[in-house]
């Protein structure tokens, strides 16, 4: 059903300079990560790292959370039990509670984690590696998670609820299901997807449990553990770091120092720390804490705490505090025996800002690994690419580059390159002659050369425009292909939902991903549906 190709991810143009250097020139950035994401680096990480984690408490809380839904798999329960053992490590990725998983890369992140564990369990049989999905249940940016895209249609969950999204009641999602069902149509795969959505969102009262159920259905049989950090017991272990952040501002100074070092190397900051990197959280509120002249203010509210009051909250009600993007990784590494964090380019970029903060807070910094990347080409698109003589790995070129390549292949690219070179050569002779007579005339001569070159550029552009009109059908096909694979000029994996592909391919879709993806190789996996399926 599928053919696959792999190309180096650095050849796609999808990564920024920091991440490109991280995967291709690791020595340049060695001060900003622990050990490199290869087998020898991970072995070194195992030997160097001592986790001061309350494993029995963690295992019990994860078991309690697993019982919030009815479909936790036995293999996941086994992995939760294994976490009690000192020779067991977690491999973690995190993601928001996007409706119906949101964009495709959510799927790829979790498969990357599961496959990483499978490889390490084979390489290091004396240890156990268990996959963990960290639910961003405390996030409050509802507009980032309240929709998913299916066949160019954006399905949106409208709700007036506020606060941490994990606590949102799932009221109103039946409207999404009705719209979803109409788009999916009628076949076996469509019925599975409808039931999955219904059982996840309509049969659970809040978004956290709905997401846990959905993820269990898709990945539970692979032993995936889902953790919700919005937990009273787990946050008891984070009180000292809440104090380090809110009262002493240690993370702010550590991360700011690292950003300056990265900027000296020519990189830009992915996130900027605040003096306080915590939110105050209640049932319907998650708002930043700021230090003001009056005390510790909760932004957007009338709440103000004195230093003694904020310390009392840290000590006795840490569940009312919520870490932001700077502090959340520290929370994860405080409560999990986590060896590796797998994330997208943006996530790895901000983790590279955090190593000094981890050292200052005396928390283990994990190995950082880039998630897998995938582009899926259906049979109709593959057929068009074949007719246009475009190889799958060329799709990451710009639209103009593809059009120019097409013209070159058809010997229909009008170029005056040789003529421009000849004029420049003749003008060089003129420059030499003028230089011996009056050097002040040299600028005039150079300006005349530029006018001549500009004139040829205009002729060249007009000629190619005329040629393009002759290739209007092929050019429109190229534009349609780019829109298909890069909707809204965004990579497919950041826009499309998994259900559009599951609808066509069923379980073969996931099976192929599990077989082909390997997080130890920084590649773009291109999956082509057979044209003669």
Percent of the chain with pLDDT over 90: 81
Confidence of residue 474 (pLDDT cuts 50, 70, 90): confident
Q: Dihedrals φ, ψ of 239, to 5°? A: -60, -40
Would you call 225 helix, strand, or coil by DSSP? strand
Query: What pairs with residue 379 in β-bridges?
Result: none
Instruction: Classify burial at 466, counting beta carbons within 10 Å of its beta carbon; exposed 0-12, middle 13-18, buried 19 or more.
Output: exposed
pLDDT per residue over 119-160, tens digit each?
999 999 999 999 999 999 999 999 999 999 999 899 999 999
The confidence score (pLDDT) of residue 411 equals 59
The pLDDT value given to residue 424 = 86
Question: 367 phi and psi, to 5 degrees?
Answer: -65, 140
d(CA 37, CA 520): 7
What 300-309 contacts at long range (C-beta under 8 Å, 24+ apart), as own/partner pairs, is: 307/247
d(CA 354, CA 325): 11
Tell whether the model's pLDDT for residue 533 goes beyond 60.
no
List, as one string, the DSSP characters of 280-305. Answer: EEETTEEEEEEEETTEEEETTSS-EE
Chain segment 226-268, per-residue pLDDT in tens? 999 999 999 999 999 999 999 999 999 999 999 999 999 999 9
Q: pLDDT band for position 410 (50/70/90)?
A: low
Q: What would the mean pLDDT of 52-76 be, rounded to a whole number?
A: 97
**Nearest-CA neighbor of 193 among 508, 528, 501, 484?**
501
- pLDDT above 90 for 485: yes
User: Average pLDDT, stretch 303-308?
Assistant: 96
Every domain of the chain and the residues it spans? 2-238+325-372, 380-488
Query: What is the full DSSP assignment across 438-482?
Result: -GGGHHHHHHHHHHHHHHHHHHHHHHHHHHHHHTHHHHHHHHHHH
pTM of this structure: 0.88
Question: In the Cβ-directed half-sphere of 461, how many Cα atoms lie within 13 Å?
Answer: 6
User: In angstroms, rounded to a whole number, what is the distance separating the alpha carbons of residues 105 and 492?
Assistant: 9
Q: Give the pLDDT band (50/70/90) at residue 405.
A: confident
What pLDDT does 403 receive? 85
The dihedral of CA 81, 348, 211, 497: what is its sign?
A: negative
* Nearest by Cα to 42 from 391, 338, 445: 338
Start-to-end C-alpha separation, the chain: 6
pLDDT at 470 over 80: no
Got the DSSP string for 299-361? TTSS-EE-HHHHHHHHHH-GGGEEE-TTTHHHHHHHHS-EEEEEE-HHHHHHHTT-HHHHHHH
Is residue 99 within 8 A of residue 214, CB to CB? The reply is no
H or E segment at 130? strand 128-135
Task: Say which DSSP state 394 is in.
Answer: G
DSSP 3-state of 349: helix
- What phi, psi does 520 have (nearest 5°)? -80, -5
């Amino acid at each position: 059903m599928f053919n696959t190709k792999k190309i180096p991810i650095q050849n796609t143009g999808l990564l920024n300079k920091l991440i490109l250097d991280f995967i291709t020139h690791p020595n340049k950035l060695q001060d900003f990560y622990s050990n490199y994401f290869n087998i020898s680096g991970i072995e070194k990480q195992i030997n160097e790292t001592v986790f001061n984690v309350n494993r029995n408490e963690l295992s019990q809380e994860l078991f309690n959370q697993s019982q919030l839904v009815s479909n936790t798999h036995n293999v996941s329960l086994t992995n939760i039990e294994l976490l009690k053992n000192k020779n067991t490590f977690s491999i973690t990725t995190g993601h928001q509670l996007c409706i119906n998983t949101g964009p495709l890369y959510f799927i790829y992140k979790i498969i990357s984690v599961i496959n990483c564990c499978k490889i390490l369990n084979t390489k290091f049989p004396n240890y156990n590696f268990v996959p963990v999905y960290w639910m961003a249940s405390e996030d409050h940016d509802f507009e980032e998670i309240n929709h998913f895209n299916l066949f160019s249609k954006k399905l949106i969950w409208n709700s007036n609820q506020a606060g941490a999204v994990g606590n949102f009641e799932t009221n109103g999602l039946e409207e999404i299901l009705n719209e979803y069902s109409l788009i999916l149509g009628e076949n076996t795969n469509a019925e599975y997807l409808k039931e999955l959505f219904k059982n996840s969102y309509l049969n659970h009262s809040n978004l956290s449990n709905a997401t846990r159920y959905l993820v269990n259905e898709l990945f539970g049989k692979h032993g995936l553990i889902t953790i919700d950090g919005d937990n009273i017991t787990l946050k008891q272990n984070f009180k000292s770091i809440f104090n380090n952040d809110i009262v002493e501002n240690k993370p702010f100074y550590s991360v700011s120092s690292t950003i300056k070092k990265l900027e000296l190397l020519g990189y830009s900051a992915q996130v900027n720390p605040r003096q306080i990197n915590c939110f105050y959280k209640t049932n319907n509120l998650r708002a930043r804490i700021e230090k003001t002249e009056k005390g510790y203010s909760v932004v957007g509210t009338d709440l103000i705490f004195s230093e003694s009051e904020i310390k009392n909250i840290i000590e006795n009600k840490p569940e009312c505090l919520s870490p932001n993007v700077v502090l959340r990784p520290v929370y994860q590494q405080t409560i999990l025996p986590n060896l590796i964090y797998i994330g997208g380019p943006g996530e790895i970029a901000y983790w590279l800002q955090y190593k000094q903060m981890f050292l200052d807070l005396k928390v283990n910094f994990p190995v950082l690994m880039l998630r897998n990347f995938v582009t899926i080409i259906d049979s109709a698109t593959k057929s068009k690419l074949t007719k246009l003589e475009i190889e799958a790995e060329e799709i990451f070129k710009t639209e103009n580059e593809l059009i120019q390549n097409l013209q070159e292949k058809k010997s229909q690219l009008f170029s005056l390159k040789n003529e421009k070179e000849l004029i420049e050569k003749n003008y060089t002779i003129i420059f030499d002659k003028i230089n011996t007579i009056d050097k002040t005339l040299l600028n005039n001569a150079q300006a005349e050369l530029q006018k001549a070159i500009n004139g040829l550029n205009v002729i060249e552009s007009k000629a190619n425009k005329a040629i393009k009109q002759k290739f209007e059908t092929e050019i429109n096909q190229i534009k349609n292909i780019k829109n298909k694979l890069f909707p809204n000029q965004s990579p497919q994996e950041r826009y499309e939902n998994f259900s559009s592909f599951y609808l066509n391919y069923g379980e073969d879709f996931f099976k192929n991903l599990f077989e082909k993806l390997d997080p130890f190789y920084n590649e773009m996996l291109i999956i082509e549906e057979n044209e003669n399926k």
